[in-house]
A and B are shown apart, each in its own frame.
Chain A
Amino acid sequence: MEDIKVNFEKNSATALKNANLQRALKNAIDQFRNVRGKAVGEFEEWEQLRASARRIKEWTIGQLDEYLEMLEANVIKAGGTVHWASDAKEACEIILDIAKKHNVKSVVKSKSMATEEIELNHSFEGAGIKVVETDLGEYIIQLANERPSHIIAPAIHKTREDISKLFVEKLNTPYYKEPEELTKIAREKLRSEFLNADMGVSGVNFAVAETGTIVVVENEGNARFTTTVPRIHVALMGIEKVIPRFEDLSIFLNVLIRSATGQKMSTYVSFITGPKRNSDLDGPEEFHLVIMDNGRSKILSHEETRESLYCIRCGACIYICPVYKKVGGHSYGWVYPGPIGAIITPQLLGIDKAHELPFASSLCGACKDVCPVKINIPRVLLELRSRVISDRRVGAGFLLRIAVRLWRFTMENKGIYNLASQLSYILQKPWIRHGRLTSLPFPFSRWTKKRDFPAVAKTSFRKQWNEIKDLEG
């Protein structure tokens, strides 16, 4: 994890040139925006639900230690085991130890961003344990040996043709065109993996403190399989996933699912409280809950950006973001893309590792309007921008600092401001074509390469003011 350094400018340049990616993103996103709009639009109490979800998150994160301890006590009471991991390395070690102790040869995984975050698959593979992703999108990503590019739709960057080709190449299937055929292949392959697996690893959408229940939301049934068939179930969660009461789920399932997929309710919601009981027909012999910090308590300590921890990973901000739609998820350089990635990646990895991300936004604010827990993402981005500028390791750079100082000096003094405006009017002359600036030298070329720039007016507004101020209406 330590060696990650996000290069958004380079990554996004590659993404913009990839016509296939552009097509895949546009198709998927335009389609989803309509679906979500309907799911939210038909729901009269949407705004009230968002407000309640927000309040519960504020309350819970405000006394996280207490709720985590309550969760731990209740998981143990239900017969489960709780492990605490301070970082990715520790989390991987804990999970590997469980696997080794039980002589696990093969693992099935359901979709989990937390396991992506700690690169758990690499750890398993390094220890000679076979691991198979069972969510269709994640399965595709694993076959392609890539990272997910969206937290809900991991393979959103791939077109149907891409997937057909991938299956031919990796699974030796004939070239199937239809999604149904491709899904059928994956289902057949995965079925035997489920039945042979010794251990299932899942994520956690919500962990209910008062009952020790973990909740897993999905549509394919693979998470239900993963958490019930193998003899050991390990669930990995970040510390922010805990909610106080079971009844809070009536709010959170509603806002999560409508925001994530535009459904009213997902096909499967699994409520898991401890391992198999004597009276149960199915279920694992052991249930382990790994509760992971991995940088989150650092976020908790900053009041200005604490709301980043309220995120329930629905992906709505990613779908709505105009920047994401153009650059795709891999441009964000780590596991969390889009607006939420732009605020949590620099906070989790360290601001020096991803200092471009807070700037990779037009601050349009569409994200804050769709966020089901009302995270003011632009506000957090702005806060992080100021942290980048005052960070000793990154900072603003000498030239930018000088430029801002000069600009401020100009703006602080009307006389100099007027002079600068007149000077620009004169200096621009060699570049004027048809009344506009069409090809300016660097750094202004960053604008004029693809856009015209308006010419500085001969008579500024303030100079015209004296003539118009006494005009009669």
Chain B
Amino acid sequence: MYILNEASKKIKVSLFITCLVDILFPQVGVSMVKVLKRLGVEVDFPEEQTCCGQPAFNSGFRQDAKVLAKRFISIFSQDGFIVSPSGSCTSMVRVFYKELFHDDQKMLDVVNILSSRTYEFSEFLVNVLKVDDVGATYNGRVTYHDSCHALRELRVQNEPRKLIKSVKGVDFVEMKFPDTCCGFGGTFSVKFPDVSVSILDEKIESIIESGADTVVSTDMGCLMQIGGAINRKKLPVKTIHIAELLASV
């Protein structure tokens, strides 16, 4: 079994669940809550939250993004950590809010504090709670897909791997080019669907080549893309979020 981290008992976390997980993949949020509670963290869900504004920001609609960013900032203004099951949405808050408000010093001051409290789920476990082994069990051959934002905006790379390797029953394998994009890219996936799918096909090939039966990632955007093709092609590979893997016992 895992060793309960005494220090984590007093840690307060506000869940930044993301709209994608809320509406399409609630089980990911539930898994995250289970793991955090198992580690003794005090978990809260600010119920006013909807979307952080990233789709608008990435599509060039900065004014709309600003409105939603300000809304997000006021909802998450209480104390404690903000933890999200998404490297991409975490990047929006931690990295791109600074970009969005780069010419507004007053907002920048607020954003800088918010940014320092915001974490992606796996890095929060490993770097803040200092936990690698959360006491999970999963029988399968698991490979990890690096979400681009987790990897290149947050520099989260070893954290999820450490967590996955510590799960009892997991046979971890690296795929070829795990850090190459899956082709999702948010609205890119529907703006240029054929290019997106063509990039995806190469990702699927390397997953299959790895011999894994399960693909894990930190982001449901990537997993929706990867899973979308796996299901369409009826391939014998499961896609699960790292929170789901860590919640399985």
A residues in contact (CB < 8 Å) with B: 8-9, 12-13, 16, 322-323, 325-327, 358-366, 368-369, 379, 382, 385-390, 396, 404-405, 407-408, 410-412, 414, 417, 421, 424, 436, 438, 443, 446-447, 449-457, 459-465, 468-469, 471-473
Contacts and interface: CB of A to CB of B under 8 A. Distances in A.
A438 B29 CA distance: 25
B193 A457 contact: no
- Nearest 8 pairs of A and B residues by beta carbon: A362-B185, A451-B228, A385-B60, A473-B37, A389-B60, A364-B181, A365-B152, A461-B29
Nearest to A365: B152
Contacts of A368: 152
Given A363-B188, A365-B153, A446 B45 contact: no
9 contacts: A12-B192, A12-B195, A322-B183, A360-B195, A361-B188, A404-B56, A411-B19, A454-B24, A462-B17
B55 A407 contact: yes
Contacts of B232: 438, 450-452
B50 A417 contact: yes
A414 B71 CA distance: 11
Interface string B217-228: 000000011011
B199 A460 contact: no
A463 B22 CA distance: 9
B64 A471 contact: no
Nearest to B147: A364
B21 A365 contact: no
Contacts, number: 190
Given A411-B50, A469-B45, 13 more contacts: A16-B194, A362-B184, A362-B199, A364-B148, A382-B57, A382-B58, A390-B60, A412-B71, A417-B50, A454-B25, A455-B24, A462-B45, A462-B47
A379 B184 CA distance: 18
Contacts of A327: 195
Nearest to B153: A365
B229 interface: yes
Given A16-B198, A446-B190, A465-B45, A363 B26 contact: no
Kindly name the residue among B24, B153, B180 whose own CB sees the greatest number of chain A CB atoms within 10 A: B24
Nearest to B103: A304
A224 B202 CA distance: 41
Contacts of A447: 189-190, 193, 228
A450 B23 contact: no
A368 B95 CA distance: 15
Contacts of B27: 457
B52 to A, nearest CB: 9
A473 B25 CA distance: 22
Contact of B23 (A326, A453, A456): A456
B22 A366 contact: no
Interface string B26-70: 110110011011111101010110110101111111101001100
B121 to A, nearest CB: 14
A315 to B, nearest CB: 18
Given A449-B193, A462-B47, A471-B34, A412 B68 contact: yes
Of A323, A386, A405, A451, most buried by chain B (CB within 10 Å of CB) is: A451
Contacts of A412: 50, 67-68, 71
A473 B195 contact: no
Given A454-B224, A472-B37, A461 B195 contact: no
Interface in B233-247: none
B68 A411 contact: yes
A270 B30 CA distance: 63
B186 A451 contact: no
Residue in B53, B60, B185, B232 with the greatest tally of chain A CB atoms within 10 Å: B60
A363 B62 CA distance: 16
Contacts of B228: 447, 451-453
Contacts of A369: 152
Nearest to A369: B152
Nearest to A331: B195
A446 to B, nearest CB: 4
B61 A389 contact: yes
Contacts of B153: 365
Given A362-B183, A461-B29, A461-B30, A452 B231 contact: yes
A424 B43 CA distance: 29
A464 B30 contact: yes
Contacts of B58: 363, 382, 385
Nearest to B229: A451
A471 B30 CA distance: 11
B207 to A, nearest CB: 15
B194 to A, nearest CB: 5
B37 A471 contact: yes
A18 to B, nearest CB: 12
B191 interface: yes
Nearest to B20: A454
